Amino acid sequence: MIATVLALAAAATPAHAANTLTMRGADVSSLQRTLDLGGKYYNASGGQADPYDILKSAGVNYARLRIWNNPASGYNNKAKVLQQAKAIKAKGLKLLIDFHYSDTWADPGKQFTPAAWSSHSISQLGTDVYNYTYDVCTALKAQGTTPDSVQVGNEINVGMLWPRGQVVNNNFAPLASLLKQGYNAVKACNSATQVWIHVADADSMANMRWFYDGIKSQGVPWDVTALSYYCMWHGTLANLYNVITDARTRYGKPVVIAETAYQFTTADADSEPNSIPGTVLCDNIPATWAGQAQQFTWVQNTARNAGAVGVFYWEPTWYAIKGNGWDPANINGTGDGWDNMAVFDWTGRVNPNIRWTP
| DSSP, res 284 | T
Could you tell me which residues are beta bridge partners of residue 67?
A: 99
Whether the CB-CB separation of 97 and 145 falls below 8 Å is answered with no
Residue 176 is which amino acid? A
DSSP string covering 25-39, please? EEE-TTHHHHHHTT-
- The single residue of 259, 336, 339, 345 carrying the catalytic annotation is 259
State how far the Cα of 102 lies from the Cα of 91, in Å rounded to an integer.
Answer: 29
- The reply to whether 259 belongs to the active site is yes
| DSSP, res 158 | T
Largest Cα–Cα separation, the chain: 55
- Find the helix packing angle between 289-305 and 237-251, rounded to 10°: 30
- The three-point CA angle 273-279-282 to 5° equals 120
Residue 253 is which amino acid? K
- The single residue of 155, 268, 315, 339 carrying the catalytic annotation is 155
Whether the CB-CB separation of 325 and 334 falls below 8 Å is answered with yes
State how far the Cα of 62 lies from the Cα of 44, in Å rounded to an integer.
Answer: 21
Buried b (16+ CB within 10 A) or exposed e, 47-77: eebebbebbbebebbbbbbbbbbebebebbb
Whether cis (ω within 30° of 0) applies to the bond prior to 163 is yes
Residues marked as catalytic: 155, 259
